[in-house]
């Protein structure tokens, strides 16, 4: 089946032949390699204390295959010379297929949080950053983590970040504080940490007090002054393949001479960097979720044909049928919202597309959560158990109503924007009244 049948009409003429071909290859790679590999992956993960000590072997085999097929780093859009040059729209359509499988994103080197990290290293990194960290990341040789969220502060307002990097008398920088939900930090291959911290004590304009540090993770851990405290769970899962860690800095010192390469761009540019990191990443998350939602529905359609409930197969039951239709509609709504936002980034930039990105980010996770929850219900006990992907998918999707700002914060920001238009609206109605006088005389 051609992927063209899955693409909404309005996008068809916006996809290049190479884009279309690659979307098709993604679909096939996912179906032929990644989905079958998902079960292997879970079996190859370490258990208990060994959980974070090794990486399932299948991963590297899939990566080799993907590279061979030219399915590598597709997330790096046209703006980056390092990437294959797809539009956000094209990659969005690929991400939908990748999102069906657990391992597909890493297999194609398009997994969070590395994608965002590669983007900012490409955009803000100096030659050292690019050689030392970006290159092996692009090659899939190492992994990275972004240390931003802190326990006890609201992540929706980055000004709350309180982890500090303070210059001491010798001119070295000293890190103190605790980060958590540091995705990817548990992976044994994670070599570099990007750490958002406060480098200035409110002496500057409020948005210039934070910086992004680029740290050698292995070295930091070896110092004993940076520690992986514990993995955090998500509804009892480890949210693999990402994993989320709590990381503690306890006076970890960066020598003066290392500072130029330990700070991204420049001191005080932390906000600018994290802002730029968020836009396309949200689109990627949304499209992968849509893929997950579609896959959950496929599983459920399969089951509905086998499952007999009081002498009638589930797929002949009207409530099942109508709910299925509603879920397909809801997925389609999200797909249009997300792809429209992706296209807007393509024809302008992430900043102009902010409103559209916010809409996509608000709507998609909760829609997909609702859909997966229905699928779980259709599977009964099996749905909550380890015997389907559903509960794991649910848990992951649930985190995305929280990550990168909770729904409520985005809704509020969007609403304030709309509400502020009232002077224009007032003028509109005032003019109406003037026109009423004119029109009455017609």
Q: For a second copy, how many residues bind (rule: CB under 8 A)?
A: 121
Is 65 among the residues that bind a second copy (CB under 8 A)? yes
**Residues 350-409 within binding reach of a second copy (CB under 8 A):** 353, 356, 359, 362-363, 376-377, 380-387, 391-392, 394-395, 398-399, 401-403, 406-409
Q: Using CA of residue 37, residue 39, residue 43, residue 46, what is the dihedral sign?
A: positive
**Which residue in the set 16, 171, 321, 349 belongs to the binding site for a second copy (CB under 8 A)?**
321
State the minimum distance, in angstroms, from the CB of residue 239 to a second copy.
9
State the minimum distance, in angstroms, from the CB of residue 213 to a second copy.
21
State the minimum distance, in angstroms, from the CB of residue 3 to a second copy.
14
Is 201 among the residues that bind a second copy (CB under 8 A)? no
User: Judged by CB under 8 A, which stretch of 117-125, 205-213, 265-273, 303-311 contacts a second copy?
Assistant: 303-311
**Which residue in the set 8, 188, 251, 255 belongs to the binding site for a second copy (CB under 8 A)?**
8
User: Judged by CB under 8 A, which stretch of 193-201, 213-221, 235-243, 286-294 contacts a second copy?
Assistant: 235-243
Contacting residues for 191 by C-beta, under 8 A, at least 6 apart: 133, 136, 142, 143, 144, 216, 217, 218
Nearer to a second copy among residue 276 and residue 323 (C-beta): 323
Nearer to a second copy among residue 168 and residue 349 (C-beta): 349
Nearer to a second copy among residue 124 and residue 320 (C-beta): 320
CA end-to-end distance (rounded Å), the chain: 60
Q: By rule CB under 8 A, what string of x and - marks binding of each residue 18-57 to a second copy?
A: -------------xxx-xxx-xx------xx---------
State the minimum distance, in angstroms, from the CB of residue 177 to a second copy.
16
53: left (phi > 0), else alpha (psi -120 to 50), else beta? Answer: alpha
Nearer to a second copy among residue 225 and residue 317 (C-beta): 317
Strand pairing class (190-198; 143-147): parallel
Is 227 among the residues that bind a second copy (CB under 8 A)? no
Give the position of tokens 């051609």: 2
User: Judged by CB under 8 A, which stretch of 136-144, 196-204, 218-226, 330-338 contacts a second copy?
Assistant: 330-338
Is 438 among the residues that bind a second copy (CB under 8 A)? yes
Distance CA 385, CA 279 (A): 34
Is 435 among the residues that bind a second copy (CB under 8 A)? yes
**Which residue in the set 72, 181, 249, 252 belongs to the binding site for a second copy (CB under 8 A)?**
181
Contacting residues for 160 by C-beta, under 8 A, at least 6 apart: 150, 153, 154
**Which residue in the set 162, 202, 322, 349 belongs to the binding site for a second copy (CB under 8 A)?**
322
Nearer to a second copy among residue 31 and residue 258 (C-beta): 31
User: Judged by CB under 8 A, which stretch of 69-77, 200-208, 257-265, 298-306 contacts a second copy?
Assistant: 298-306
Nearer to a second copy among residue 69 and residue 414 (C-beta): 414
**Residues 71-130 within binding reach of a second copy (CB under 8 A):** none
**Which residue in the set 209, 320, 368, 372 belongs to the binding site for a second copy (CB under 8 A)?**
320
Is 250 among the residues that bind a second copy (CB under 8 A)? no
**Which residue in the set 155, 164, 250, 276 belongs to the binding site for a second copy (CB under 8 A)?**
155
Nearer to a second copy among residue 48 and residue 224 (C-beta): 48
Is 319 among the residues that bind a second copy (CB under 8 A)? yes
- Count the Cβ atoms, other than its own, within 10 Å of residue 98: 29
**Which residue in the set 54, 141, 151, 256 belongs to the binding site for a second copy (CB under 8 A)?**
151
User: Judged by CB under 8 A, which stretch of 75-83, 108-116, 237-245, 281-289 contacts a second copy?
Assistant: 237-245
Distance CA 121, CA 106 (A): 19
């Amino acid at each position: 089946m051609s992927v063209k049948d899955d693409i909404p009409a309005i996008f068809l003429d916006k996809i290049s032949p190479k884009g279309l071909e690659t979307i098709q290859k993604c679909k096939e790679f996912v179906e032929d390699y990644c989905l079958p590999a998902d079960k292997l992956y879970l079996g190859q993960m370490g258990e208990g204390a060994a959980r974070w000590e090794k990486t399932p072997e299948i991963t590297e085999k899939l990566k080799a295959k993907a590279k061979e097929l030219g399915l590598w780093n597709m997330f790096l859009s046209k703006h980056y010379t390092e990437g294959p040059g797809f539009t956000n729209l094209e990659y969005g359509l690929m991400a939908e297929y990748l999102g069906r499988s657990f391992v597909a994103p890493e297999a194609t080197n398009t997994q969070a949080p590395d994608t965002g990290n590669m983007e900012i290293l490409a955009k803000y990194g100096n030659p050292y950053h690019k050689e030392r960290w970006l290159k092996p990341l692009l090659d899939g040789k190492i992994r990275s983590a972004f240390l931003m969220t802190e326990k006890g502060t609201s992540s929706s307002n980055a000004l709350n970040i309180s982890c500090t990097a303070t210059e001491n008398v010798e001119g070295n920088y000293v890190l103190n504080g605790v980060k958590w939900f540091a995705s990817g930090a548990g992976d044994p291959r994670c070599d570099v940490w990007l750490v958002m911290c406060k480098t200035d004590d409110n002496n500057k304009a409020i948005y210039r007090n934070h910086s992004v540090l680029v740290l050698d993770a292995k070295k930091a851990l070896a110092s004993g002054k940076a520690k992986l405290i514990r993995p955090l769970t998500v509804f009892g899962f480890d949210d693999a393949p990402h994993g989320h860690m709590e990381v503690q800095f306890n006076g970890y010192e960066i020598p003066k001479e290392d500072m130029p390469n330990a700070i991204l761009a420049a001191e005080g540019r932390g906000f600018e960097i994290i802002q730029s990191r968020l836009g396309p990443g949200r689109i990627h998350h949304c499209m992968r979720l849509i893929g997950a939602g579609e896959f959950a529905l496929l599983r459920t359609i399969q089951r509905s044909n086998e499952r007999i409930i009081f002498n009638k197969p589930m797929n002949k039951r009207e409530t099942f049928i109508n709910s299925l239709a509603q879920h397909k509609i809801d997925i389609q709504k999200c797909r249009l919202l997300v792809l429209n936002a992706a296209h807007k980034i393509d024809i302008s930039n992430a900043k102009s597309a902010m409103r559209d990105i916010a809409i996509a980010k608000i709507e998609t996770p909760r829609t997909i959560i609702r859909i997966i929850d229905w699928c779980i219900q259709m599977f009964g006990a099996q749905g909550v158990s380890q015997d389907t992907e559903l509960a794991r998918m649910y848990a992951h999707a649930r985190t995305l109503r929280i990550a990168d700002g909770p729904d409520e914060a985005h809704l509020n920001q969007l609403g304030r924007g709309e509400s502020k238009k009232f002077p224009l609206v007032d003028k509109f109605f005032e003019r109406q009244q003037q026109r009423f006088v004119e029109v009455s005389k017609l």
